[in-house]
């Protein structure tokens, strides 16, 4: 992230791995700082933006992390849980956008990955047929048209 902070014309969204964080303490902190929304009975969600400072080689960087906590006390079928199910998620970013917009932008990369997978695997374009750029560009354009038409029609290649 520090390398990306110093780069010109580059922005980033990096998924934060909260594996060594106390989820209950994080829930309490986030719920105290942000606006808690009740999505349905037994499900509360809160998102905050936290700024953290990191010193690297004598330079201090201000890094922005979006943290979202979801607490479920009743599952989606109405079953009460003995203890709350707490999901802690986070994203590092330098984008000047609303937190929910950054999260949605990160989610959209999965759609891109799906198209990429279909392009490579389903259309058998993992290895391009030629050493000539123009030929490969034509093959990839045809593959893109096929993928798009299959996606729009709801069929698989």
- pLDDT tens per residue, range 16-25: 988 888 889 9
Query: Does residue 34 sit within a domain?
Result: yes
* Contact assessment for residue 27 and residue 69, using Cβ atoms and an 8 Å cutoff: yes
**If we measure between CA atoms, which residue out of 147, 156, 152 comes closest to residue 119?**
147
Query: Does residue 125 sit within a domain?
Result: no
Domain containing 51 equals: 2-97
Query: Does residue 137 sit within a domain?
Result: no
Query: Does residue 102 sit within a domain?
Result: no
Q: How many structural domains compose the chain?
A: 1
Confidence class of residue 155 from pLDDT cuts 50, 70 and 90?
low
What average pLDDT does the segment 127-156 reach?
79
Query: Does residue 49 sit within a domain?
Result: yes
CA distance 79 to 76: 7
Query: Does residue 128 sit within a domain?
Result: no
pLDDT of residue 98: 94
Query: Does residue 91 sit within a domain?
Result: yes
CA distance 47 to 52: 16
Query: Does residue 53 sit within a domain?
Result: yes
Tell which wins on pLDDT, 19 or 123. 19
What average pLDDT does the segment 66-74 reach?
96
pLDDT of residue 38: 94
139 pLDDT above the threshold of 90: no
Beta bridge partners of 81: none
């Amino acid at each position: 992230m520090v390398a990306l902070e110093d780069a010109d014309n580059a922005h980033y969204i990096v998924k934060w791995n909260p594996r060594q964080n106390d989820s209950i303490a994080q829930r309490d902190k986030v719920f105290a700082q942000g606006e808690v929304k009740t999505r349905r009975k037994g499900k509360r969600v809160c998102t905050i933006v936290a700024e953290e400072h990191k010193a690297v080689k004598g330079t201090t960087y201000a890094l922005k992390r979006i943290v979202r906590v979801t607490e479920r006390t009743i599952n989606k079928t109405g079953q009460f849980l003995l203890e709350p199910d707490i999901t802690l998620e986070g994203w590092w970013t330098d984008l000047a956008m609303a937190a929910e917009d950054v999260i949605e932008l990160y989610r959209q990369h999965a759609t891109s990955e799906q198209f990429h997978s279909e392009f490579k695997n389903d259309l058998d374009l993992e290895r391009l047929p030629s050493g000539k750029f123009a030929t490969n560009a034509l093959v990839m354009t045809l593959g893109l048209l096929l993928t798009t038409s299959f996606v729009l029609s709801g069929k698989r290649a």
